[in-house]
Amino acid sequence: MSLSVQHRSGKELLRLPLQGPGAVQTVDEVKEALQRDGPRVHWRRQRLTLPSTATKTSSVRGVLESGHRLDEYGISVKSAQTEYVVHFKDLGPQVSWRGVFVAEYLGPLVLFPIIFIAQLGGGDAFKGWDRAHPYQRAALVAWTIHFAKRELETLFVHRFSNATMPWRNLVKNCMYYWGFAAYVAYFVCHPQYTPVASHAQFWAGVVLFSLSELGNLVCHWRLRQLRPPGTRVRQIPHGFLFEFVSCPNYTCEVVAWLGFNMMTQTVAGTLFMIVGAAQMMIWANGKHRSYLREFGAMYPRFRKRMIPFLW
Amino acid sequence: MSVKTWLFLYNAALFGGWTWIFMELMVQVGRFWKELCFSGPAGNNLGSLLRLPVVQCSSYVLLGWWSPPPLKVLLGFGDSNWQRFEAHLLGSTLKLLLVFQTVTVLELVHALLGWVRASPSTTALQICSRLFVLWFTIARFASSIAQTANSGYLALLSAWSATEVVRYAYFTVLSYGSMASGGLLSVHELVPTWLTWLRYSMFLVLYPIGVSAEIWSVLRALPLIRETNFLQINMPNRWNFAFDFSLFCSIALLGYIPGLPFLYSHMLKQRTRHLNAASRRSNQKRASSPIAKPSSPKQKAS
């Protein structure tokens, strides 16, 4: 009874016993053995998958996650099979999720005020504040509140399940956030900015933005309560907007940007909202599906993905 | 009408269209060649072909035809003969090119509907970049381009049309076979090896020519775009939006720097994969054993 860890090409990297002395029973033990005796790659960089032939015939998922036993993936001494194969991939250098989040939100938090001061005050912060239209000041405050809130949540509220991601994501995410921040700030903080004509629209935007930011915070707080510190536990969220949709935090985020755009009325901000909403819809779809897969009939059938009653 | 029939008809129609464009190009090049080589007192017998001026003229046409625009400038292709030829070519093929290149938007629809295996985002990028070059840098400024030497149009047209004729021939055969066999046969059982070879080899030469011609066209159009304020939106307006098309073009040009080596190496990889599969297939055919052949693995046809 043994477990053969191979490259996708079929080259064997390490053979581990499943019985007797030194037998491996969990995914973490396999990863540690690979780090020690195999290709000497840190366990966080390792991705272990079942061969596609094994996943086709059964309902088990292909990726061997840390913190699980091998028999959850059908690798068991009790079955008749004597030889198991697992594919190994080096994911490359990793960075922590928390680090990526802090870096990507830092850009917008810093760039918006810089562009505000540079374009409206010619480098003088107080002059910029005085020269700006009140709606531009409101936009600066709203933007800063949003990203300061995101930073604080990253540091003190979120409990991440996947500890790391490939470092390329850091570059990609930062380019997205920093680029859009500069693009939106350029127009919102432009000296020739045209404020929205209707006060009602502006104030409706303010209300929508504030309520959504609060709702988003409540959602994040409730998600935190679902996971005891230091674990990777997943539970069905209940209460508040979670009764209507699987991902109300995304719904709130999109509505908050809708409010921001009602306050400021720029094409750039609208583009930022549309691209963000599209990305969040993809994530919401995935999360909804994994809830359904994990909890099956226990998951409330009434719940939609992101848009109450509709989607 | 089933999807397979539609795809076959579409590919056949585009093969026809691009062949038409390619033939038009051939006719124009042939006319220019004849004008240049045989306009003198020398007859068109075989002996005169070997005479020095004829060889010179031939190499002139061939070099001018196949070299990318910057190289042409370096080699001094700027005389009135050449300019007249390029202007003439622009007049006779631009409309056709616009029609058949714009129709390829349907390919994006096919990809979005999942009728073909190509990824929608890659297809969108390819089609949009071509339409952008064609409509906004060539068609928009056709009259002023016709008056300049080395407009890059010849290089662009020959690279695009030669690639597309072979590509659509490949897809026509493929979609016909998949329609007729009901999807039972794989790519390399349907398409003859030589066609696969052409499809995955011509880009080695044509891709650098085509890309350099595209870049050249955008660069040439930049001052014209600035002069005419083409597609320019200025602040202030109530949507708080501004757009500078020449800036957009400059940024798009920067995209070629990482894009070019990435796409070229991607195509080299595809070439190895497809040609290996095709040669394995033809070896099997040659062996022609009475034992049933194992079907070759299905390849992505993009």
pLDDT digits (tens, 9 = 90+) for A134-154: 999 999 999 999 999 999 999
A266 to chain B, any CB pair closer than 8 A? The answer is yes
> Roughly what angle, to the nearest 10 degrees, separates helices A199-225 and A248-264?
160
The pLDDT, as a whole number, for residue A265 is 95
The pLDDT, as a whole number, for residue B291 is 46
- Using the beta-carbon criterion (under 8 Å), do A265 and B240 form an inter-chain contact? yes
CB neighbour list of residue A57: distance below 8 Å, 6 or more residues apart: none
- Using the beta-carbon criterion (under 8 Å), do B235 and A188 form an inter-chain contact? no
- Using the beta-carbon criterion (under 8 Å), do A266 and B239 form an inter-chain contact? yes
How far apart, in whole angstroms, are the C-alpha atoms of residue A76 and residue A18?
8
The pLDDT-based confidence of A128 (bands split at 50, 70, 90) is very high
- Using the beta-carbon criterion (under 8 Å), do B240 and A188 form an inter-chain contact? yes
Total CB pairs under 8 A between chain A and B: 30
How far apart, in whole angstroms, are the C-alpha atoms of residue B193 and residue B199?
10
Is the pLDDT at A19 greater than 90, yes or no? no
- Written as six digits, the tokens of A35 are 């780090």
Out of A188, A190, A265, the one facing B239 most closely (by C-beta) is A265
Same domain for A123 and A78 = no
Is the pLDDT at A1 greater than 50, yes or no? yes
- Using the beta-carbon criterion (under 8 Å), do A197 and B238 form an inter-chain contact? yes
- Written as six digits, the tokens of B90 are 């622009």
CA angle B214, B263, B137 (to 5 degrees): 15
Nearest residue on chain A to B238, judged by CA atoms?
Answer: A194
The pLDDT, as a whole number, for residue B52 is 74
Domain boundary among A92, A107, A123: A92
Tell which wins on pLDDT, A52 or A124: A124
Residue A310 lies in a domain: no
Same domain for A88 and A136 = no
The pLDDT-based confidence of A250 (bands split at 50, 70, 90) is very high
- What's the gap in Å between the CA of A289 and the closest CA on chain B? 22
- What's the gap in Å between the CA of A283 and the closest CA on chain B? 18
CB neighbour list of residue B180: distance below 8 Å, 6 or more residues apart: none
CA angle B126, B216, B167 (to 5 degrees): 35
Nearest residue on chain A to B241, judged by CA atoms?
Answer: A267
Please provide the DSSP assignment of A198-235 as one string. Answer: -HHHHHHHHHHHHHHHHHHHHHHHHHHHTS-TT-----
How many separate domains does chain A show?
2
Same domain for A169 and A23 = no
Q: Give residue for tokens 């028999």.
A: A71
CB B57 within 8 A of CB B33: yes
What CATH number has the domain bearing residue A39? 3.10.20.90
Q: Tell me the per-residue pLDDT of B185-219, one tens digit each, with 9 for 90 and over.
A: 777 778 888 999 999 999 999 999 999 999 999 99
Q: Which domain covers residue A157, as residue numbers?
A: 95-298
Which of A187, A188, A272 is the mutation pick for testing B, counting most B CBs within 10 A? A187
A198 to chain B, any CB pair closer than 8 A? The answer is no
Nearest residue on chain A to B236, judged by CA atoms?
Answer: A192
How far apart, in whole angstroms, are the C-alpha atoms of residue B155 and residue B148?
14
SS3 (DSSP) at B195: helix
- The residues pairing with A164 across neighbouring beta strands, listed in sequence order, are A96
CA dihedral in degrees (A104, A105, A111, A116; nearest 10)? 150
Strands A46-49 and A164-166: unpaired
A183 to chain B, any CB pair closer than 8 A? The answer is no
> What is the per-residue burial (b if ≥16 Cβ within 10 Å, else e) of B50-75?
eeeebeebeebbeebbbbbbbbbeee
- Written as six digits, the tokens of A174 are 């930062």
Give the CB-side neighbour count of residue A282, counting CA atoms within 13 A: 5
Is the pLDDT at B300 greater than 50, yes or no? no
Mean pLDDT across the stretch B268-286?
82
Residues of B in contact with A188 (CB under 8 A): 240
CB B96 within 8 A of CB B24: yes
Q: Give residue for tokens 């053995």.
A: A33
- Using the beta-carbon criterion (under 8 Å), do A267 and B241 form an inter-chain contact? yes
Residue A305 lies in a domain: no
Which of A168, A183, A202, A267 is the mutation pick for testing B, counting most B CBs within 10 A? A267
- Using the beta-carbon criterion (under 8 Å), do B240 and A197 form an inter-chain contact? no
- The residues pairing with A69 across neighbouring beta strands, listed in sequence order, are A26
Q: Point out the residues of B that are catalytic.
A: 207, 214
Residue A311 lies in a domain: no
Q: Which of A205-219, A228-242, A290-304, B119-133 has the lowest mean pLDDT?
A: A228-242
Residues of A in contact with B242 (CB under 8 A): 187
Question: Which residue blocks in chain B are alpha helix, DSSP H?
Answer: 3-38, 46-49, 52-66, 69-75, 80-103, 105-113, 120-131, 142-145, 153-180, 187-190, 193-199, 203-228, 245-287
How far apart, in whole angstroms, are the C-alpha atoms of residue B293 and residue A274?
52
Nearest residue on chain A to B242, judged by CA atoms?
Answer: A187
Same domain for A272 and A227 = yes
- The residues pairing with A6 across neighbouring beta strands, listed in sequence order, are A12, A87
* Residues 112-171 in A contacting B (C-alpha not used; CB under 8 Å): none
Nearest residue to A107 (alpha-carbon basis) of A72, A76, A70, A144:
A144
- Using the beta-carbon criterion (under 8 Å), do A187 and B236 form an inter-chain contact? no
Same domain for A170 and A39 = no
Nearest residue to A143 (alpha-carbon basis) of A264, A271, A249:
A264
- Using the beta-carbon criterion (under 8 Å), do A265 and B238 form an inter-chain contact? yes
Same domain for A138 and A280 = yes
Contact residues, chain B to chain A, C-beta under 8 Å: 235-242
Residue A74 lies in a domain: yes
Is the pLDDT at B40 greater than 60, yes or no? no
The pLDDT-based confidence of A29 (bands split at 50, 70, 90) is confident
How far apart, in whole angstroms, are the C-alpha atoms of residue A236 and residue A255?
24
Same domain for A261 and A118 = yes
Give the CB-side neighbour count of residue A137, counting CA atoms within 13 A: 11
- Using the beta-carbon criterion (under 8 Å), do B236 and A193 form an inter-chain contact? yes
- Using the beta-carbon criterion (under 8 Å), do A265 and B241 form an inter-chain contact? no
Which of A119, A133, A168, A192 is the mutation pick for testing B, counting most B CBs within 10 A? A192
Residues of B in contact with A193 (CB under 8 A): 235-236, 240
Query: Which helix (H) or strand (E) covers residue A87, if one does?
Result: strand A83-90
Same domain for A257 and A189 = yes
Which of B240, B241, B248, B251 is the mutation pick for testing A, counting most A CBs within 10 A? B240
Residue A120 lies in a domain: yes
Same domain for A279 and A132 = yes
Same domain for A103 and A87 = no
Domain boundary among A46, A66, A92: A92
CB A165 within 8 A of CB A223: no
> Roughly what angle, to the nearest 10 degrees, separates helices A134-156 and A97-121?
160
How far apart, in whole angstroms, are the C-alpha atoms of residue A264 and residue A260?
6
